């Protein structure tokens, strides 16, 4: 089986990190496949939501140090980080469809960063999180210093980044790092249920909502309202908008086509 698997079914594009013998630590080749899958999903009309998960009781232990050990020069390290590792982070930022993470077991270092880059994180009761970079004398390399404060606040983020300590599942829930906790046996079903609900929604409106939420972090309130007016005009012109109104009046479940 491949180290990274990407499949599409029922409007859901599923990315599975599949190196359980290494707790799904990623290689350079996996990074390329991961970024390619996200970029493909962005423009694929058959994909309405993307789910990222790991195989066999782990999410992702970050980079595979053995795979990266060959990179020794300063320029090569910078090149790999920017042009290989950050391609995944950039692809998540460009994806205007829902991106969901189902986290079982460890999400460490860049593995935690990858999870933080998702819109919603569901976790099992045995999930564990750590921004472990500082333990090996490094700084967060894949967006953790940017993403974590926006989720838990600056003071708590600094404590987690400075210490690299593990956050157990319940604390992750309490801090808002994850949306909900499930038993390991129920996690996949819970994540798929959420993905199916999102995939059944109106794609144009759902993408617009994601853009408004993300852009709203960077602009003032009146600018946000101006963006709402522009997006709303587009959304209201779609067939899906008319279908939603008709279905509401007819008291039936709407069927959305993304047009």
Structure tokens at 118: 């998702």
pLDDT digits (tens, 9 = 90+) for 56-79: 999 999 988 777 777 878 888 888
Mean pLDDT of the chain, nearest integer: 95
pLDDT digits (tens, 9 = 90+) for 189-247: 999 999 999 999 999 999 999 999 999 989 999 999 999 999 999 999 999 999 999 99
Amino acid 74: pLDDT: 83
Phi, psi dihedrals of residue 258, rounded to the nearest 5°: 80, 20
Using CA atoms, how far apart are residues 98 and 119, in angstroms rounded to an integer?
A: 6
Give me the domains of the chain, ranges plus CATH numbers: 4-199 (3.90.226.10), 203-250 (1.10.12)
Which one has a higher pLDDT value, 137 or 73? Answer: 137
Provide the pLDDT confidence category of residue 36 given band limits of 50, 70 and 90: very high
pLDDT (mean) for 160-185: 98
- 175, 136, 178, 143: which is closest to 159 by C-alpha? 175
Using CA atoms, how far apart are residues 61 and 17, in angstroms rounded to an integer?
A: 11
Amino acid 64: pLDDT: 86
């Amino acid at each position: 089986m491949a180290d990274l698997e990407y499949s599409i079914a029922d409007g859901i594009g599923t990315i599975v990190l599949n190196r359980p013998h290494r707790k799904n630590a990623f290689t350079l080749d996996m990074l390329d496949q991961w970024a390619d899958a996200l970029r493909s999903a962005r423009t694929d009309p058959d994909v309405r939501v993307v789910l990222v998960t790991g195989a066999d009781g782990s999410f992702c232990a970050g980079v595979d140090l053995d795979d990266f050990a060959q990179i020794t020069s300063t320029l090569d390290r910078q090149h790999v980080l920017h042009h290989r590792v950050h391609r995944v982070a950039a692809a998540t930022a460009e994806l205007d469809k829902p991106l969901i993470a189902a986290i079982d077991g460890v999400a460490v270092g860049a593995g935690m960063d990858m999870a933080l880059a998702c819109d919603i994180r569901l976790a099992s009761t045995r999930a564990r999180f750590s921004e472990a970079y500082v333990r090996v004398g490094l700084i967060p390399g894949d967006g953790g210093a940017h993403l974590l404060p926006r989720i838990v606040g600056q003071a708590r983020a600094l404590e987690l980044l400075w210490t690299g300590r593990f956050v157990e599942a319940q604390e992750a829930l309490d801090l808002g790092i994850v949306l909900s906790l499930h038993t390991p046996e129920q996690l996949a079903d819970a994540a798929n249920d959420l993905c199916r609900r999102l995939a059944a929604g109106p794609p144009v409106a759902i993408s617009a909502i994601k853009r408004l939420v993300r852009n709203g972090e960077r602009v003032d309130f009146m600018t946000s309202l101006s963006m709402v007016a522009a997006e709303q005009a587009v959304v209201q012109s779609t067939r899906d908008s008319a279908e939603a109104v008709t279905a509401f009046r007819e008291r039936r479940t709407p069927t959305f086509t993304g047009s």
